[in-house]
Amino acid sequence: MDGELARLLRGNPALWRGGEVRDIRKGLGTGFEALDAALPGGGWPAHALVEIISPQQGIGELRLLLPVMARLGRSGRRIVWIAPPHIPYAPALEQAGIRLEHLSVLNPGESDLPWAMETVLRAGACGMALAWPARLDVRKLRRLQLAAEAGRCLGVIFRRADPGVTAAALRLRLQDEAGALRIQILKARGGCRRPELRVQP
pLDDT band, very low/low/confident/very high, at 21 (cuts 50, 70, 90):
very low
Percentage of the chain beyond pLDDT 90 is 66
Alpha helices in 96-157 (DSSP H): 113-123, 138-151
Q: What is the pLDDT of residue 9?
A: 59
Percentage of the chain beyond pLDDT 70 is 88
pLDDT band, very low/low/confident/very high, at 25 (cuts 50, 70, 90):
low
pLDDT band, very low/low/confident/very high, at 23 (cuts 50, 70, 90):
very low
Strand partners, 198: 182
pLDDT tens, position by position, 162-178: 777 788 999 999 999 88
Please compute the mean of the pLDDT values over residues 182-197 and round it to a whole number.
88
Q: What is the pLDDT of residue 5?
A: 66
Secondary-structure percent of the chain, ordered helix, strand, coil, rounded to 5: 30, 25, 45
110 SS3 class:
helix
Please compute the mean of the pLDDT values over residues 40-67 and round it to a whole number.
92
CATH of domain 3-199: 3.40.50.300
Please compute the mean of the pLDDT values over residues 120-137 and round it to a whole number.
93
Strand partners, 172: 52, 185
For 143-152, 163-172, 176-185, which range has the lowest pLDDT when averaged over its residues? 163-172
Boundaries of every domain in the chain: 3-199
Q: How many CA atoms lie within 13 A of 152 on its CB side?
A: 6
Q: What is the pLDDT of residue 194?
A: 82
For 18-22, 79-83, 155-159, which range has the lowest pLDDT when averaged over its residues? 18-22
Please compute the mean of the pLDDT values over residues 58-77 and round it to a whole number.
92
User: Rounded CA gap, 134 and 113, in Å?
Assistant: 9
Q: What is the pLDDT of residue 24?
A: 54
Smallest Cα–Cα separation from 167: which of 146, 190, 193? 146
User: Rounded CA gap, 24 and 165, in Å?
Assistant: 22
End-to-end CA distance of the chain: 44
Which phi-psi region, left, alpha or beta, contains residue 136 (left: φ > 0; alpha: ψ -120 to 50)?
A: beta
Whether the predicted pLDDT of 89 surpasses 80:
yes
For 29-38, 71-80, 141-150, 188-197, which range has the lowest pLDDT when averaged over its residues? 188-197
Strand partners, 180: 177
Q: What is the pLDDT of residue 2?
A: 63
